[in-house]
Structure 1
Amino acid sequence: MKIGFIGTGSMGSILIDAFIHSGALLPTDMVISNRTIDKAKQLADKHTGLEVAKSNIEVMLKCDLIFLCVKPKEYKNVIDEIRTISLDSQIIVSITSAVLIEHLEEWLPCKIAKVIPSITNYVRSGATLCMYSERMLEEDVRVIEDLLAYISKPLRVDEAYTRICSDISSCGPAFMAFFLQKFIDAAILKTGISRELATELASEMLYGTGMLLTSGGMDPTTLQQKVSVPGGITAEGLSMMENELDGMFIELVHTTHAKYEEELAKVKSLF
């Protein structure tokens, strides 16, 4: 089976790299295209055997499973280009949260899936959110999830929860990295500890925390209870954060959802 990628920007490139590094795919299994062809050629230079197509149409003609890794504003141009040559036997996988399955089904005759990856997939970890149209057969779903399992934990979610699930799995790494950076900056400002040491300590701490919350069998509440001793230093810090951060995460979800609704409206207006 030939796998196509239309769009080799940030997330498209991460998926291609991850599939190759994990052994899920060989470079010769893939055909890629990009609006700026030099970006696609850079990937091909890195992965010998990776085929760069001259157009999106060429990708569609050569591939059975095609990942659409383009920004919402680019969807209309791409769909208009490929819709007349799309086949009902092909599988289109969109990775753009603001483009709904019902829209893709209206625009294309293909089997439709929506997958929301994460930057953590680059190191073969984290979740991948999976949503499927009714056109998808169970064997089609298995093909996609077997592929994604090389680089992530595929999780089927209701499309109605796309935004909040994506907030946690896809935006979450940036949010956690921001929180960690502020922790590091404060440690340096208050104590003079070196940035190198503080960053190494914080990074290893976050990695270990992730292990405890996955293979370690703990949930966030249990972990806090295990570390915190009543009246101790950790308990004092948790109490301070409970007061200072009250309402912040509600506002964060409100902000991301407002931006999502804005993007949904823009996509609808394109068609």
Structure 2
Amino acid sequence: MKVGFIGTGSMGSILIDAFIASGALRPTQVFASNRTLEKATLLAQRHPGLNVCSSNSETVRNCDIVFVCVKPLQYKALIEEIGDDVRPDQILVSITSPVQIHHLEHALACKIAKVIPSITHLTLSGASLCMYGARIDAEDRLVLEKLLSSISEPLEIKEAHVRISSDFSSCGPAFISFFVDQWVEAAVEMTGIGREQAISLAGEMLLGTGRLLTEGGFHPLELQERVAVPGGITAEALALLKQSLNGVFHELIATTHAKYEEDLHKCDSLFGDAGT
């Protein structure tokens, strides 16, 4: 199997690094093209044997699966570039949420899937959110999910839920890291603990908490109850957090959804609202 990547920026390079690190793909199975050729060349230096393509069409012509890792407003021009090169048996995987499956199915003759990855795949963990177009059959799903399972936990979702699901799986690491960073800075300032030690403690705590929620059978409220003894230190701190963060997460979701709707309208206009 040969897998192509159009766009080798942040997320494209994460996927390539993760697939190769996991052993799911050998560098010789990977074909990559990028608007700035130097970025793809750097990947080839990191993974000897990786095929750097001089054009996006070359990437498409060589591959069975093609991950499209470009910004939403770059899709229309890309489709015009590769439209004559895609094959009906080929799977094209979009990794951007505002570009809808119907946009791509209307414009391209190949099979269409959408997968929202996460930076957590660098540690071969986290969820990859999977959505499938009408031309994807059961065998296609197995092939794609087998590949994704080497670096993540593939989860099929409704396309209508892509934004809120991405808030957790894709944006979540940044949100949690912000919380940790603020907590660590306050700890260093107020207690003198070393910054690296505090970060290490927080990281191990997050790793263990994630396992309790995914493998340990705990619901978040159950976990709070187990840790927070009534009248104790944790209970006092939780009361403060509940008061201070009241409404914050509603505002966070409203913010991410508003930006998504803005991008979605731009994509609808770009594609002429194709397929709706």
Name 1:250's counterpart in structure 2.
250
How much does 1:217 deviate? Answer: 2.1
Q: What CA distance in whole angstroms lies between the structure 1 residues aligned with 2:136 and 2:199? A: 45
Name 1:19's counterpart in structure 2.
19
Mapping of residues 109-258 of structure 1, within 5 Å: 109-258=109-258
How much does 1:147 deviate? Answer: 0.3
Q: What CA distance in whole angstroms lies between the structure 2 residues aligned with 1:147 and 1:128? A: 11
Aligned length: 271
Name 1:7's counterpart in structure 2.
7
Structure 2 residue matching 1:85: 3-state secondary structure: coil
Name 2:32's counterpart in structure 1.
32
Name 1:50's counterpart in structure 2.
50
Q: What CA distance in whole angstroms lies between the structure 2 residues aligned with 1:27 and 1:196? A: 35
Q: Which amino acid aligns with 1:116?
A: I
Name 1:85's counterpart in structure 2.
85
How much does 1:92 deviate? Answer: 0.4
Structure 2 residue matching 1:129: 3-state secondary structure: strand
Q: What CA distance in whole angstroms lies between the structure 2 residues aligned with 1:45 and 1:189? A: 42
Q: What CA distance in whole angstroms lies between the structure 2 residues aligned with 1:217 and 1:129? A: 22
Structure 1 residue matching 2:193: 3-state secondary structure: coil
Q: What CA distance in whole angstroms lies between the structure 2 residues aligned with 1:151 and 1:198? A: 28
Q: Which amino acid aligns with 2:149?
A: A
TM-score normalised to structure 2 length: 0.96
Q: Which aligned segments of 4 or more residues in structure 1 are displaced greater than 4 angstroms?
A: none
Q: What CA distance in whole angstroms lies between the structure 2 residues aligned with 1:245 and 1:87? A: 51
Structure 2 residue matching 1:154: 3-state secondary structure: strand
Q: What CA distance in whole angstroms lies between the structure 2 residues aligned with 1:146 and 1:86? A: 22
TM-score normalised to structure 1 length: 0.98
Structure 2 residue matching 1:73: 3-state secondary structure: helix
CA shift digits 1:24-64 (9 cap, x unpaired):
11001111100000000000000011000010010111111
CA shift digits 1:176-233 (9 cap, x unpaired):
0000111111111221222122111111111111121122221211111111100000
Q: What CA distance in whole angstroms lies between the structure 1 residues aligned with 2:88 and 2:106? A: 13
Q: What CA distance in whole angstroms lies between the structure 1 residues aligned with 2:65 and 2:200? A: 40
Report the RMSD for the aligned CA atoms in angstroms: 0.8
Q: What CA distance in whole angstroms lies between the structure 1 residues aligned with 2:50 and 2:194? A: 43
Gaps of 5+ in 2: 272-276
Q: Which amino acid aligns with 1:46?
A: R
Q: What CA distance in whole angstroms lies between the structure 2 residues aligned with 1:171 and 1:221? A: 22
Q: What CA distance in whole angstroms lies between the structure 2 residues aligned with 1:246 and 1:211? A: 26
Structure 2 residue matching 1:265: 3-state secondary structure: helix
